[in-house]
Copies of this chain bind each other. A is one copy, B any other.
Amino acid sequence: MRTSNFLIATQKETPADAEVISHQLMLRAGLIRKLASGLYTWLPLGLRVLRKVENVVREEMDASGAQEVSMPVVQPAELWKESGRWEQYGPELLRIHDRHDREFCLGPTHEEVITDLMRNEIKSYKQLPINMYQIQTKVRDEIRPRFGIMRSREFLMKDGYSFHVNQASLEQTYQVMHQTYSNIFSRLDLDFRPVLADTGSIGGSASHEFHVLANSGEDDIAFSDSSDYAANVEMAEAVAPTATRPAASAELAEVATPGVKTIDDLAAFLSISPDTSVKTLVVNGEEEGQLVALILRGDHQLNTIKAEKLEGIASPLVMADEEIVRKACGAGFGSLGPVGLTMNVVVDRSAAVLADFSCGANKDGFHFTGANWERDCPLPRVEDLRDVVEGDPSPDGQGTLQIKRGIEVGHIFQLGTKYSEAMKAQVLDETGRNVTMTMGCYGIGVSRVVASAIEQNHDDKGIIWPTAMAPFQLAIVPLNMHKSEEVAACAEALYTALKEQGIDVLMDDRNERPGVKFADMELIGIPHRIVIGDRALKEGNVEYKGRRDEDSQLVPQDDVIEFLNQHLAG
């Protein structure tokens, strides 16, 4: 491709409303343009990247045995009413009326459509398992679209759905998809982690998210420094401390703590470390009017997902109202503690091994120091209640946990029978009985992968594309080619030769200053660059520079193709 016939729409200025680096660079490099809030046009350069990602996804999905289909974007409301999602889904679901005033929606996902298709087409267990996917424009009416294509209202998604006669078959396909996703992100050369994820309100039995690690990620990922273990922080188990609780050595003492409301206040007031105190949170119990106190070490954070899964606790988790707490405990928030508490209490594993700890005295403006389990109050039920922190032991027993930010680019999910039951998607099993099909679903945010790759791979000059998704592998930058016949001839010969080898070459034949061309090719992030200029050419050389290299190197003109073949292959 020549820049004279290819829209290079680079911009010098960083757009004011672009908060994250990928959004800034996608605009500056001319990959996308905003049409309206959360709606973007992919320019030719950006689309080349998107298509490369799409093709890797398609190739690996096909290799896994999945079959590609294409379902409509516009979906009839009837199916969503059948599944129950018409009521459950919030305003992200863009609902529309056709000219006959019938209700439709623009599909954010396609569970209903594929389940409807399968209940009509699949009659027997012999046709199972089957795994269908599509790569399609999805619409989700985000309340606040942002970060460019990272959280846009229209995006390209690979969504896949598998159908099974039983759970064992689902688990098999789930493993294949886990491997397929790993293959995809490995081929794209991304630093990623498949992490255990919460199955949330969709239900289902197992779920993994695939995260590209990058500082700008919205999720915290905990992973072992010495094994494959990785989980969303909300899912990672905080394993029980191996140390036993020391014996009590201090006296229980009530201390007036005027104005102390938080653990930080308390630590400062008493000149203690927060990890020698406990905090007490009160939540609604499972039954109406019931309260449960949750006790954590002062420096730890409550993990609401873990808490709401526990017996006796309302799900979703609801923090109790302060007035109700005051009636039950005799004090408001900031002065609560386990000593003398009469309601149900659950204590986190780490808080349960503390001795001589500080805590609220259930009396406004007072705390205890030197409190001890069993001596001053019973040791309550012990559970894992907290978010893991860096340095915690890895739940798989290997190494310690690190925490990094991640961008979710994929999600695989054992759905079970949520949709197939509601929509009566059944087949005959081996014994001739009707059984409800078991389902899995598998998504990749194809356009999001592009943004996440930039978040992970850039420097102050611009994007640094991983090879598999670079819009072009190599840029040829001839200097003053409109004046120098030698430069033009050398550039044209090289361009032709590389194109014949099937290499994606961008020939920058614009009549621009060298500095402009260099800056553009670096901003765009093309992995390899050959500069052809009169001076080096007189000595029989051209200049090569890899996108991550500090300096360029001279390569004899006669060896350049062999040189490039070696470098581009690596």
Does B35 contact A139, Cβ atoms closer than 8 Å? no
Tell me the bound Cα distance from A71 to B121 in angstroms.
Answer: 34
Does B139 contact A74, Cβ atoms closer than 8 Å? yes
**Residues in chain B near residue A65, CB distance under 8 A:** 5
Q: Does A501 contact B (CB under 8 A)?
A: no
User: Given A6-B67, A33-B117, A44-B68, A76 and B137 touching (CB < 8 A)?
Assistant: no
Which among A6, A36, A106, A132 has the greatest number of chain B C-beta atoms within 10 A? Answer: A36
Does A41 contact B117, Cβ atoms closer than 8 Å? yes
Q: Does A42 contact B (CB under 8 A)?
A: yes
Choose the segment among A91-99, A195-203, A292-300, A558-566 that binds chain B (4+ C-beta atoms closer than 8 Å). A91-99
Q: Does A317 contact B (CB under 8 A)?
A: no
Does A69 contact B94, Cβ atoms closer than 8 Å? no
* A7: nearest chain-B partner, CB-CB: B67
Does B72 contact A41, Cβ atoms closer than 8 Å? yes
**Residues in chain B near residue A92, CB distance under 8 A:** 99
**Residues in chain B near residue A120, CB distance under 8 A:** 33
Q: How far is the CB of A197 from chain B (nearest CB, A)?
A: 27
* A90: nearest chain-B partner, CB-CB: B99
**Residues in chain B near residue A153, CB distance under 8 A:** 74, 98
Does A69 contact B43, Cβ atoms closer than 8 Å? yes
Tell me the bound Cα distance from A98 to B37 in angstroms.
Answer: 11
Q: On chain A, which size bracket covers the interface? A: 35 or more
**Residues in chain B near residue A154, CB distance under 8 A:** 72-74
Which among A67, A68, A74, A117 has the greatest number of chain B C-beta atoms within 10 A? Answer: A74
Tell me the bound Cα distance from A5 to B289 in angstroms.
Answer: 55
Tell me the bound Cα distance from A219 to B98 in angstroms.
Answer: 28
- How would residues 139 to 160 of chain A score, 1 for a CB under 8 Å from any chain B CB and 0 otherwise? 1010100000000011000000
- 28 A–B contact pairs at CB < 8 A? A5-B65, A9-B121, A33-B117, A33-B120, A35-B75, A35-B116, A36-B75, A36-B104, A39-B75, A39-B76, A41-B71, A41-B117, A42-B71, A44-B67, A44-B68, A44-B69, A47-B69, A72-B154, A73-B73, A73-B137, A73-B139, A74-B154, A92-B99, A94-B96, A96-B96, A96-B106, A99-B143, A137-B137
Give the 10 A-B CB pairs with smallest separation, nearest first.
A42-B70, A44-B67, A39-B72, A91-B99, A36-B76, A96-B96, A41-B71, A99-B141, A72-B154, A47-B70
